[in-house]
Amino acid sequence: MLTIKRAFKNILRRRFRTALVGIVLALCVAVFASTLASVDASKTTTAAMLAKYESAAQNTINTTENAMNSIQVSSGGFGGEFGFGGPGRSGSSNSTNSISEDTVSAIAAMDGVAGVAPSLTQTVGASTLNTSNSGGRMMMRFSYDYIIDGVTLNSSLAGEYNSILPVTISEGRNLQEGDGNAVVIGKDLTSYFNAGVGDQISINGTSFTVVGIYSSNISTVYSGSTSGDPAGGPGGTGRTIVREDKNVYMPLSTAQNLLGTNGNVSELAVYASDSSAVDNIVATIQSAYPDLRVFALKDMQAQFGGSIEQEQSTIINSTQGNLSSIENLGLEITIISAIVGVLLIFGLMFYTVRERVKEIGTLKAIGFSNGEVMKQFMYEGIIIGLIGGVIGLALAAAAASGLSSWLLNPSKTLGQSVSVHITVLSIILGLVVAVLAGALGSLYPAWRASRVSPMESLRRE
């Protein structure tokens, strides 16, 4: 206990020098603790990102599998070409053709048809196609304001096939049978309309209530050639359709009134009673209505599911690679911080030993053992390390987010906001590193002090 008291007194006698080393050491500890907290927060954020994406991808795959018995019939346009009827669909019905309700009724009466779900799709705003080549894959992005999707709200069909409404509702609820001027909008439209769940938006002078917001977070990938069929052939360049969440879903009758197309629809989902009837229904519709586009979703199920899994694997690998980069950089920073801390204590204590040779000799002369002298200098180094550690942790607690952004910038690397806070583990490890830096940094100077003899100290004086 007396040795520790003397250590405190010696530290207080050299306040300026101790404070200078303590401040620099505190910065090292703050960097160390903030880095640990940042890496830990990045792991948590990455896990949440992957879980969310995997869930969205699986929902999309499940929706496609549930639609094996469905057939898409369209009046033409991009939506008919690729035949997507699920969330985030970026089809357009700017074609002058349409499907009359008489045609819908005739198709519904065909043998093997279990039900039909007509819909109306129209793009709002200039629709332009932008393409770019990235890594041998053609990226296609359609530019428009939003897409109005008037859908059939039939609870029995939705419960069985679930392929018309968006699957992933991030806020609020989905559309329900009986809804009137209610809409579900994509997450990319919240800023466009400046509205959230429960707010009112105006479309063509008509007021609608936002009851839900969907978020698909998936791109549609085709592996075929850029000039031919989506299925493509060997050696074709991959093609990616970037699907933005910019659809406005509303009841079909509401959309017809809004767009002035009563009695007409642009697309029709036809549900077969079983998979064996799909091909016969497709042939019957094509024969009776040659101007309509007819597409069986089962023909692209395997390709679509494989594309989603490939895209999922790419995103997972990319995200994990970003996390690995953060962890590696974090490890380098923590090692450097620890080394700097040790060297600071070493320099201070080494200089202190040389400065206090006479004092050490006097202690030895009055009976202090080598071990007692060594302990005193070790205690001084450890106390300085502890003081710097406490100050550093206080600094980290106040500025962990800023330090993390400056050192690792995990939000930019992961592409998503990362909230960094000092954790209990960071505090414990920060104190341990500070104390170890004090112990290791003072180890050799303390040993050197213990070897000083009284005669040597007198000769130096």
Give the tokens for residue 319. 């995200």
Q: What is the pLDDT of residue 245?
A: 87
- Min mean pLDDT across 79-83, 271-275, 376-380 is at 79-83
Q: What is the pLDDT of residue 339?
A: 85
In the block, residue with structure tokens 């999707």? 149
What is the C-alpha to C-alpha distance for residues 426 and 146, in angstroms, rounded to an integer? 47
Do 392 and 437 meet the contact criterion of CB atoms below 8 Å apart? no
- What tokens does 109 get? 């009466």
**Is the predicted pLDDT of residue 184 greater than 90, yes or no?**
yes
Contact 319/47 with Cβ under 8 angstroms? no
CB 325 within 8 A of CB 413: yes
- Per-residue pLDDT band for 234 (boundaries 50, 70, 90) equals very low
CA separation for the pair 332, 78 (Å, rounded): 51
Rg (the chain; Cα; Å): 35
What is the pLDDT at residue 212? 95
Range with the largest mean pLDDT of 168-177, 233-242, 352-361: 168-177
Chain centre distance of CA 55 = 13
Instruction: Give CA angle at 85 (84, 86), nearest 5°.
Output: 100
Answer yes or no: pTM beyond 0.75. Answer: no
86: pLDDT strictly greater than 60: no
The secondary element (H helix, E strand) that includes residue 426 is helix 424-450
Spatial separation of the C-alpha atoms in residues 410 and 125, rounded to whole Å: 36
How many residues are given for the chain?
461
| Number of alpha helices (DSSP H) and beta strands (DSSP E) in the chain | 14, 16
| Other CB atoms within 10 A of residue 69 CB | 23
Q: What whole-number distance in Å separates Cα of residue 410 and Cα of residue 376?
A: 43
Phi and psi, residue 302, nearest 5°:
-65, -40
Whether 303 contacts 223, CB under 8 Å: yes
Residue 248: what pLDDT? 95
Look at residue 321 in the predicted model and tell me its pLDDT.
83
Pairing state of beta strands 70-74 and 206-214?
unpaired
Residue among 11, 32, 9, 3 at smallest CA distance from 396: 32
What is the C-alpha separation between 168 and 249, in angstroms, rounded?
Answer: 13
